Structure 1
């Protein structure tokens, strides 16, 4: 079939392999490593590449796009940004909404991003991580349809799914349809971790879901819409353009760094577990070239660890924790791929700290964990398996809901 042949020419891994040979990762760019095993991944076709499935819906309309540096269409050699591709097809894009880290993906975690103008296209960029995280009705005036295309990593406190929900809510209020272009979840092969409790909901978790929820961003959009989880039970006119040849167990290496401090597959695999250190005084590799592949602090017991490093300001970390200090901890850069969330590193760091009363930033840790129980369990010396058992009932309940919305095996 001609369409199938055309799609096959845009398969993800081959296009990245050709591009990656010409442009190796550098300190300040957004490229990840070339996949080592291409056998399954080369068949995956991301939704953005399936232009025949969604471009006809955009014709003759004024379009807003929620996008960042990962919003690309893969080509035989490299890739083209979705914005450029749509503009070349005479689609009338009137503005771009940008999430945390900005449209180009260079802002630090938590750094406010200002509105602006994209120098390449001249399009207005509206920040959804500045003065407002939800598009205002004024910002949506004149928009007929919103396209959402951002690569997620499948972790509740990674804020792109919060942005997705707030965009959907705003569009539901304005009666504007939303199209989500689906992308693989590199942590989509398992569900694990503590479940968000209602009293701790924040931008680090707007729904009562486990820390790792095992869904693509398109599946998740369908779930929050159909379950009535949008504000006031609203529902948006939602279309999800699905992936082709994807399963939740298909190994997937991201071709583009999804945010400044997730530089490679190892960091993405470890992020659900090491991301919990964000709610403590411990450094999790920010300010090094091994973000979320190590942890350490100057106040940990040096005799308990055989590894040390010194965080310094760098791309994505202007003011890293423990800046300029020798941090004692663990190097996890060679750790096997994760299939579950572990709190063992948190426990070890807590037991090794010289001032346990100053270890947790309680409010931040609770928002990341989604529950106050985890800090209490660690402080009370619970073994890891007992902590994990305390998650299971809520995980099982979530899996029953999740099963209704899975688009892929």
Structure 2
């Protein structure tokens, strides 16, 4: 029998639940606490999810963070908000999300939606540094999402598509796969922007039409190579949108993160070319133009590099401080109030994945005053706050301190914050994106 740690015996925790890394990882995220975003979370959902349905009009939007002294405004949770809300939407086609915004259950049920998330990442093998690569990974993100029962978005879409085609007299039981393939190909013949569906793209359609989700995931993970999806990724997303349209999906919102990576490896000419692709292939061409909204993560440095090309292509302004852009821009404010910071800690430290039966439902081992001193030293940046809490809890465990109060925390804060900034600076020095 393993020896119990101090985390387990004293704190009622399986381990340290607070994130230690500086960046969000979509495949192994830390606990998501929507309350950390305060009023910006419902604002985000109303503007980017509900409004396109109500207005029957896709939009081009942006999620911003702005921070004095940090032109990249890092650590405000933009990535987590976009990715985790997308996952929640895909689990039930947006039903619970829409109902949380005051939509009736009947209307939410009859207005199924999907959301996708992708982050540019120019470093390492299989990097996402082109619009095609981003589009491919948007499609893969949606198809891989699974609900609490382990059922994938793909399986639900395929079931809906089959049922609708049978109801329309275009398929019979046992013949759904062939009917879905035919419906996808027929839909593309009616689009002005045609896709040459052959070879791997045809294999992709057959996998979508099949009820073998594991086979589809294996095909996307290993059957489609980097070279291929870097040149054909837009077609994969187009095909997914048509497939989902056959299944009755009303609207799509695609979130595109880490735009600064995209600009790091591109000079003005390449940026201009990619913005033109965004306009021509994503925003103005079917099957996206009538059904898909695109929302970009922005901060001052990224926007300054994109602005000239963006304006040259006559795309709608995404300025964060312009009253005219208010309907399509959300600016994350961070932890402006201590009450929000406290809710964030409480949500993480009492999450079912980390608590033990002997744990009290509270912020222990932190005291209110101790936690507030951390917030005051790091506000409004959520990342700095959470990483500070992580280090303090680790220190308390190592020194076997039962209560982490202000007397324990205050003397350590200045050096702790300095170490966080030093660590981030070291990461930037070796970051391949700036090489």
TM-score for both structures, normalised by structure 1: 0.29
Structure number with the higher strand fraction is 1
Structure number with the higher helix fraction is 2
TM-score for both structures, normalised by structure 2: 0.28
Rg larger in 1 or in 2?
A: 2
